[in-house]
């Protein structure tokens, strides 16, 4: 696509929107400006290509397509079949997967599809056997009671939230924590690293139906071969949520023991984050689970989003290009340079560094909570998110950590030299921010003070740092 074509496409789209609701058009334009001027360090965000973004704004949005390719509950889905089949083909080839299901709307939807596919495949009960051979309407209330009890009493073992796990891995506020009897494995209190012997011990004691690998805030590689061996030793299904690091798998930065696809029975992911696609989810699995996974709609999903599946096909095609491997490698180079820059300035990092796309700063060393640090950095043009650290005394709301990541800045073209400058800006803000107090004089976990002049200066420096690396340079909305 030519530079002129990209500008024309987005400018024309905003003109059409403005004619109906100008405030929406203004908000879209403002978001582009904000993203261009801010240091985006949220580990779960990225910048999708213009082609991916444009693939979502079309007539596929108007189409219902429950079912799967060639087996729809609505007529006229031949074009949806084309884009869904393309997206699944690209996913299989990119990740070396036996089967790919590209309908999930989000990461949690992908995980729900995986959970129910495993339950339906693995649970042995008279009620479930009846459900498989009889019409659902023929089941008695006693059948349903037995089935609910059997499904609801299964066990899941996943990484604890403060160690870097995710809410969807069995925690009570999430539906996964209500579906399963859940137990967590943590990390070594001294190193912050996964202790595989302790995971094996927990698995032997707990005997889970599902062992979950993967993370949202663990800055190291995970050995999926060992976790699969642990799962096999207790007869568990091994599931990996690679939402955060899917781009590193696609780009062949994580291979061998660190690539989950050859080792897991079922793998879930989002298609944004390091994969740099549209917001959505995906499930990869071994052949024996394919039929159950393909029942995701209507099992737990509503109607598929054909316009997003079209965008997934585009993004996955982009990820199959040779330059994506270079991009994935640079993500890790930048992450490690950012970690080194912070360490050299005295910051405390969980595990002392990183092997992947994210860095987790323990901001208690600055006398701050994660919430205070997050807001002070935002005031200064640096977009991050607060995150728990292992054994976090401030809990999951205020936290003691800041999670930062390099996928987005790497997309813009920043390199290791700019990561050191970014570390300097972060350190400057955190050292010049002080915790506030409540009205009664007690320490506040939310209030903070940072000199507005300093915040403005850092924000200008952040913008200057980004100037040589324009975001969507071909797009001019003026």
Q: Domains in the chain and their CATH numbers? A: 59-123+154-319 (3.40.640.10), 323-466 (3.90.1150.10)
Q: Is 241 a catalytic residue?
A: yes
pLDDT digits (tens, 9 = 90+) for 278-304: 999 999 999 999 999 998 988 888 889
Q: Is 270 a catalytic residue?
A: yes
Q: DSSP label at 73?
A: S
Residue of 187, 237, 268, 270 with catalytic role: 270
Cα–Cα distance, 409 to 169 (Å, whole number): 28
Cα–Cα distance, 264 to 227 (Å, whole number): 9
Q: What is the pTM of this model?
A: 0.91
| pLDDT, position 92 | 98
Contact 103, 65 (CB under 8 A): no
| pLDDT, position 179 | 76
| pLDDT, position 165 | 78
Q: Is 273 a catalytic residue?
A: yes
Distant-in-sequence, close-in-space partners of 405: CB < 8 Å, separation ≥ 6: 41, 42, 43, 44, 45, 335, 357, 358, 359
| pLDDT, position 361 | 98
Residue of 6, 84, 109, 241 with catalytic role: 241
Residue of 63, 279, 447, 457 with catalytic role: 279
| pLDDT, position 160 | 86
The residues of the chain scoring below 70 in pLDDT are 1-3, 122-141, 143-153, 172, 177
Residues forming a β-bridge with 241? 214, 268
| pLDDT, position 322 | 95
| pLDDT, position 150 | 65
Residue of 18, 45, 63, 64 with catalytic role: 64
User: For residue 362, what are the CA distances in angstroms to 22, 192, 422?
Assistant: 43, 12, 17
| pLDDT, position 161 | 79
For Cα atoms 172, 176, 177, give the angle at the middle one, nearest 5 degrees: 25
| pLDDT, position 3 | 56
| pLDDT, position 127 | 52
| pLDDT, position 1 | 47
In 3D, which of 125, 26, 68, 123 has the Cα closest to residue 309? 68
Contact 103, 304 (CB under 8 A): yes
Residue of 228, 273, 386, 412 with catalytic role: 273
The enclosing H or E element of 396 equals helix 395-398
| pLDDT, position 136 | 47
| pLDDT, position 133 | 47
Beta strand pairing call for 155-159 and 181-185: parallel
In 3D, which of 407, 471, 462 has the Cα closest to residue 36? 471
Please say whether the dihedral angle defined by the alpha carbons of residues 325, 336, 270 and 373, taken in this order, is positive or negative.
negative
Contact 184, 170 (CB under 8 A): yes
């Amino acid at each position: 696509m030519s530079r002129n074509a990209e500008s024309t496409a987005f400018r024309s789209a905003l003109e059409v929107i403005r004619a109906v609701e100008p405030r929406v058009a203004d908000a879209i334009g403002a978001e582009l400006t904000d993203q261009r001027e801010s240091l985006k360090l949220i580990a779960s965000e990225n910048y999708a290509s213009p082609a991916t973004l444009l693939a979502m704004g079309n007539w596929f949005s108007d189409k219902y397509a429950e079912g799967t390719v060639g087996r729809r509950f609505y007529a006229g889905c031949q074009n949806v079949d084309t884009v869904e089949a393309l997206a699944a083909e690209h996913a299989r080839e990119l990740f070396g997967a036996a089967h790919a299901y590209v309908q999930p709307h989000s990461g949690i939807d992908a995980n729900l599809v995986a959970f129910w596919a495993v339950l339906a495949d693995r649970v042995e009960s008279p009620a479930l056997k009846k459900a498989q051979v009889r019409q659902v309407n023929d089941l008695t209330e006693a059948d349903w009671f037995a089935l609910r009890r059997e499904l609801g009493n299964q066990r899941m073992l996943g990484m604890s939230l403060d160690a870097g796990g995710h809410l969807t891995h069995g925690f009570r506020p999430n539906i996964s924590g209500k579906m399963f009897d859940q137990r967590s494995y943590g990390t070594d209190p001294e190193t912050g690293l996964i202790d595989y012997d302790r995971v094996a011990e927990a698995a032997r004691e707990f005997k889970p139906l599902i062992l979950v690998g993967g993370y949202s805030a663990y800055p190291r590689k995970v050995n999926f071969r060992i976790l699969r061996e642990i799962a096999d030793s207790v007869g568990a299904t091994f599931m990996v949520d690679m939402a955060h690091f899917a781009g590193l798998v696609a780009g062949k930065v994580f291979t061998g023991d660190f690539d989950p696809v050859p080792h897991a029975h079922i793998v879930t992911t989002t298609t944004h984050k390091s994969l740099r696609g549209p917001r959505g989810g995906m499930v990869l699995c071994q052949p024996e689970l394919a039929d159950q996974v393909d029942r995701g709609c209507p099992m737990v999903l509503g109607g598929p989003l054909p316009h997003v599946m079209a965008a997934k096909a585009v993004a996955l095609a982009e990820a199959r290009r040779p330059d994506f491997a270079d991009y994935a490698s640079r993500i890790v180079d930048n992450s490690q340079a950012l970690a080194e820059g912070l360490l050299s300035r005295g910051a405390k990092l969980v595990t002392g560094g990183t092997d992947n796309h994210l860095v987790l700063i323990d901001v208690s060393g600055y006398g701050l909570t994660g919430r205070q640090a997050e807001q002070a950095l935002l005031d200064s043009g640096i977009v991050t998110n607060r995150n728990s650290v292992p054994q976090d005394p401030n809990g999951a709301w205020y936290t003691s950590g800041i999670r930062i990541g390099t996928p987005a800045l790497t997309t813009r073209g920043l390199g290791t030299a700019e990561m050191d400058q970014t570390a300097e800006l972060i350190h400057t803000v955190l050292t010049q921010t002080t915790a506030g107090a409540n009205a009664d004089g007690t320490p506040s976990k939310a209030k903070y003070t940072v000199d507005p002049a300093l915040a403005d200066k850092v924000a200008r420096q952040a913008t200057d740092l980004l100037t040589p690396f324009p975001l969507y340079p071909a797009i001019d909305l003026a």
